[in-house]
Structure 1
Amino acid sequence: MHFDKTIIYVDMDHVLCDYKTGFARHKARFPDLAFPQSEPGLYVDLDPLPGAIDSYRWLHNHPETAVFILTAPSIQNSHSYSEKRLWVERHLGMEVVENLIITPHKHLNRGDYLVDDMPSGKGQEHFGGELVLFGSKSFPDWRSVRDYFEERLQYDA
């Protein structure tokens, strides 16, 4: 299946998607709700972060990688499951929808790399591969992540 490829998981919120701006926009629409994310529309309307789509496609199309989106659902919004799926279809296409995994237990997935903005909380701290901490000093943006993988994949070839 994918045993001969480098397996890379990529988170959605704050990694592929601009959750911070989207949440603020949704909060403005529903100012009286304690959990505005409980209302439909938040996830499907998130904007991609700069460089996210091109970098994801580059990784996805690389002959040495198998890339999956690994995202946790929102407990406050049952619509997050379908909205995240629709977001992936809209921004990355149906072939990527087939590689969408929605789980609050990220450590149960086996792979080489996990690109995530959180070091813990959904099993990231127990992931068996390397955590690429998006938004950190080493990986502040998608350019730095892509540079890292360009070097790693060239070196491993």
Structure 2
Amino acid sequence: MKIVYVDMDDTLCDFSGAYLKALSNNPSIRYPQSQYRFFADLQPIDGAIETVSDLIRSDEYDPFILSAPSTRNPLSYAEKREWVEAHLGYDFCKRLILCAYKGLLKGDVLIDDNIEGKGQEYFEGELIHFGSDAFPDWVAVRRSLGI
């Protein structure tokens, strides 16, 4: 089975939308992501939950969530875990990996909205750049993975 890592922020859930909304609600806040419940309350991106659910059921893929925690908010570690349970169920929490440097992990596919900055550029498998022209949404990712 192919190991697939899926990023959270702006790949599974709408970090940027929540960030901009929090900033517009309180322009004086320097780091909106440092607020209590910021990560736990992020909304899923269209098609993300369905795609990960299909990866779980697949005989071809072994999916994990690989997310870099926010150093500005130590609660992000727990809140990301809460988000996974709320949207993918308790059992999938065992597949949550929080790591600031993604190049350390071995696997076949990394789906991430960034291609560098957290070690993505050193990931040895295929990097699917979510949100790019080639992979603008989960429909394109699903097509590429054949699910």
DSSP 3-state at the match of 2:80: helix
Q: Which segment drifts farther, 33-42 or 74-83?
A: 33-42
Runs of 4+ in 1 over 6 A off after TM superposition: none
Q: Which runs of 5+ in 2 are unaligned?
A: none
The separation in 1 between residues aligned to 2:85 and 2:45, in whole angstroms, is 16
Q: Deviations over 1:35-90 (max 9, x none)?
A: 12111111111100010110111112101211000000111111110010000000
Counterpart residue identity of residue 15, structure 2: Y
The separation in 1 between residues aligned to 2:66 and 2:10, in whole angstroms, is 13
Aligned pair 1:141/2:127, yes or no? no
Determine which structure has more spread, i.e. the larger CA radius of gyration. 1
Counterpart residue identity of residue 57, structure 1: S
Q: Could you say which residue in structure 2 is the equivalent of 1:101?
A: 97
1:29, distance to aligned residue in structure 2 (A): 4.3
DSSP 3-state at the match of 2:40: coil
Q: Which runs of 5+ in 1 are unaligned?
A: 152-157
1:56-71 to structure 2, matched below 5 A, reads 56-71=52-67
Aligned pair 1:14/2:15, yes or no? no
How many percent of aligned residue pairs carry the same amino acid? 45
Aligned pair 1:92/2:88, yes or no? yes
Indicate the RMSD between aligned Cα atoms, in angstroms. 1.1
The separation in 1 between residues aligned to 2:88 and 2:21, in whole angstroms, is 23
Provide TM-score, normalisation by structure 2.
0.96
Provide TM-score, normalisation by structure 1.
0.90
Q: Could you say which residue in structure 1 is the equivalent of 2:20?
A: 24
User: What is the aligned counterpart of 2:79 among 83, 98, 107?
Assistant: 83
Q: Could you say which residue in structure 1 is the equivalent of 2:118?
A: 122
Q: Deviations over 1:80-133 (max 9, x none)?
A: 100100000000111111000001110111000000010100000000101000
The separation in 2 between residues aligned to 1:86 and 1:107, in whole angstroms, is 25
